[in-house]
A = this chain, B = another copy of it.
Amino acid sequence: MSLALDLVVASRTLAEHGVIDAYGHASARSDTDPQRYYMARNLAPELVTEADIVELDLDSKPVAATGHALYNERFIHGEIYKARPDVQAIVHNHSHAVVPFSCTGCELKPIFHMAAFVGLGIPTWDIRDAQRGTDMLVRTAALGEHLARKLGKHPAVLMRGHGSTVVAENLQRAVGRTIYLDVNARMQLDAAQLAGGQRNIVFMDDAEVAANVSWQNYERSWELWKRKALAKLAAERG
């Protein structure tokens, strides 16, 4: 399956799980040129087809001229690919359960084994630390670079009042991490209420996190998501 089709599956799967709506986007670094990445043109993710995928350089400029508008926030992707050669795929999303963690100083921690990667640490970026009075969007390379610096070596970064950006060594892992980050956030919120605060929750320990993250690739999920997205795509084409 082509990377473009993988991106179609990723986009529709993220929308299906409610972690993105008309906003948010997935990208994948080119498998032939690490200085380029693929991403949909400016379009709601659940409408994306292979024909909508464009190729961008790491300055987030389209490689070929395109008559289509691009996502304003494509710089999130380009600047992270520059800063993190290990990253092959990125999902920027507005997961509803995660936003409350981005603006309260409460740290996300690994409560659920499917989201063990949370234990690698998820910093929070406040766009005001880079520029005051923005509309909250990462519209420039400078903002993207600032965000990438806050991400550092971590698997995700929260964006205050906005959402998060999740990275991985491949696309299916980036999608799986995004979906289970949302689940982990909801569980952590519920557990804190049940236990009377975060201190009374038993989270995964570092050894457990390391043992799980080393292999967790969401294989079985990806097979399911692919099958469902491709069936829907086929139905649309009649």
Q: Mark A156-176, 1 if CB is under 8 A from B, else 0.
A: 000011100000000000000
Chain B residues contacting A187 (CB-CB under 8 Å) are 96, 99-100
Kindly state the interface size class of chain A when it binds its partner. 35 or more
- Residue of A47, A103, A210 ringed by the most chain B CB atoms within 10 A: A103
Q: Is A3 an interface residue (CB 8 A)?
A: no
- Check if A79 is an interface residue, CB within 8 A of chain B: no
Contact (Cβ within 8 A) B136 A204: yes
Q: How many copies does the complex hold?
A: 4
How far apart sit A183 and B205, CA to CA, in the bound complex (Å)? 29
Known: A103-B111, A224-B46. A194 touches B190 (CB 8 A): no
Give, as a whole number of angstroms, the nearest-CB distance from A50 to chain B. Answer: 18
Interface residues in A130-148 (C-beta closer than 8 Å to B): 132-137
Contact A220 B22 (CB under 8 A): yes
Measured CB to CB, the nearest residue on chain B to A198 is B194
Q: List 28 A-B contacts (CB under 8 A).
A: A22-B218, A23-B114, A23-B220, A44-B221, A94-B114, A96-B183, A97-B190, A99-B187, A100-B187, A100-B194, A101-B194, A104-B191, A104-B194, A105-B202, A106-B194, A113-B135, A113-B137, A113-B161, A133-B208, A134-B211, A135-B211, A135-B214, A135-B216, A136-B208, A136-B211, A161-B204, A189-B190, A189-B193
